[in-house]
Structure 1
Amino acid sequence: MGWLIATGREMTQPLSQSNGATTTDVLIEHRRKIADLEERIKNRRLQAIGLHGTPIVVIAALLLWEF
């Protein structure tokens, strides 16, 4: 008997008792969650670049404006 080990709010339960879902359905749902997580990580990286890059660009623009 395979086990579905879920994270977050879901509880750990055997695949055969996952509310009628087949193994394929469970794997598809898992892949969707992974894809969503990867998208959120990418967005967070872009936010961090923008957060740290904006002051540098503003200072550089102000310094170059005077010349």
Structure 2
Amino acid sequence: MVCNAHWQSDIIEGKVVAAATFALLQNNAAYQQDVSLAAADVAKAKAKGLKPNKDCAAEAAALAIRIPGIL
């Protein structure tokens, strides 16, 4: 929508599909196990004081973008 790459309706429907998919995953045992394992991996990395091994400035900047009414 920002760069004329997508219609607003495409973005809205993408959010609906993503929300529905995530809602279904909440009751999926395999997904819950994967989330638990990932959380344990993150906790271990934090406990060891590990930091990213690359500059994440571009990713942080992209995540900081907020579009009114969308993000």
TM range (shorter): 0.3 to 0.5
Which one has the bigger strand percentage? 1
TM-score by length of 1: 0.38
More helix by share: 1
Q: TM-score normalized by structure 2?
A: 0.36
Q: Which has the higher contact order (CA 8 A, sep 6+)?
A: 1
Larger of the two Rg values belongs to structure: 1
